[in-house]
Amino acid sequence: MEKSYDVISRINEKYSSMSKSHKAIAGYISDHYDQAVFMTAAKLGETLGISESTVVRFASGLGYEGYPEFQKSLEEWVKNQLNSVQKIGAKYGHSTQSEILTSVLNADIEKIQDTIHNMDPQAFELAVNTILEAKNVYIIGLRSCAPLAEFLHFYLNMIRGNVKLLNTTSVSETFEQMIRIDNKDVIIGISFPRYSMRTLKAMEFANDRNAKVITITDSVHSPMNLYSSCNLLARSDMVSIVDSLVAPLSVINALVVAMCLKRPQEVKHSLEMLEDTWNNYQVYLNDEINFIGEEPILNYSLKREG
C-alpha cells in the first residue's frame, strides 16, 4: 500500500468489508477527526465503548504497523486540511479581486463541462423514473451538502408528495427518521469529500431494507457508491476554503426539470394550490406594501368597500 495513500482514503475503500465495531471506529474518525487525532487507542476505545485491542486491530486492518503509525498518518491528513488556507494564499495571493472572480468562475465552468462528459445518461434516466415511482423519497445531505439536499427537497415537494428530508445530528436520529423505509421507497444520498459516514450509514441501512439507493457524489471511487444502484457523478474539487458545489447543483436542477416535464399536471396542480394559499392568507407577494406619496397602500387581494 502506497504511503501517499491517505488514511481517510484507506478507510473509505475498506469500509464495506469492515466489522460492525470497525465501522463504528471509521465513522467516528471521519466525523470527528479533529478530536480523534489526539486520542490514544485506549481513549478512542473508551469513547466508543469498545476494547483498546479492537482499535489496534482496526489500524492494522488499514495496513499500518500499529496504532502509532495510524495516528501519525491521521495527524498528517488533518494538517493538510488545515493548510488549505495557506494553499489558497499561494494560488491567489497576488491576484486582484477581478482575477479571483474570473479564475473561480472558469474553474466552475470546467467542472460543469467535465460533469456533462462523464454523466451516465442511463443512470440519470433511471434516477428520474425511480424517484417518481417510489412510495416515499428520503433525502440526506450533511455539512456542506445540506443546501443541496434542501434544494432538492423543496422542488421535489412541488412535483410529488411523501418527500422526507433527513435532518440529523447523529446516526441514531437518522435511523429513527427512516425506520419504516422498505423496498417501495428510495433514498438519495448526497456527499462529496470529505465524505459523511452518517450519510453512508443511512444508505447502508436503506440498502439492507431493500430500498432503492441513489447517490450524487464526485467519482467512481467515492464510498457512496458502495450501496447505490444508481450513481450520478458530478465533479467537485477543492478550489478554495469551501468546496465547489456548482456541478452537483446543476445535476440536481436537471433532475428537477426532467421530473417536471414527466409530471406537468402534478406540478401545475401544486402551483395552483400554493397560489390559492398565498392569496387566501395574504402571504408572499400579496403582503407587499406599496407607497404612493407618503401613504402606504396594502396590496391585498381582498379590499374592503366603503
pLDDT, tens only, 137-184: 999 998 888 999 999 998 898 888 899 999 876 667 788 888 999 999
The CATH 3.40.50.10490 portion of the chain extends over: 95-262
**Averaged pLDDT score across all residues of the chain:** 80
* pLDDT greater than 80 at residue 208: yes
Give the CATH fold of the 7-82 domain. Arc Repressor Mutant, subunit A (1.10.10)
Q: pLDDT value at position 184?
A: 96
Distances from the Cα of 181 to the Cα of 135, 166, 185, 198, 255, angstroms:
10, 12, 6, 17, 22
What is the pLDDT confidence band of residue 291, given thresholds at 50, 70 and 90?
Answer: very low
Task: Please state which CATH number belongs to domain 95-262.
Answer: 3.40.50.10490
Give the number of other CB atoms < 10 A from CB of residue 4.
6
pLDDT, tens only, 220-264: 878 888 889 899 998 876 544 556 788 899 999 999 888 888 887
Q: Which residue has the cell 457523478?
A: 233
Q: Which residue has the cell 432503492?
A: 212
The CATH 1.10.10.10 portion of the chain extends over: 7-82
Pairing of strands 230-233, 186-190: unpaired
pTM for this entry: 0.66
The radius of gyration computed from the CA coordinates of the chain, to the nearest angstrom, equals 24
Among residues 136, 213, 202, which one has the least CA distance to residue 173?
202
Among residues 133, 3, 126, 135, which one has the least CA distance to residue 65?
3
Could you tell me the three cell numbers for 279?
392569496
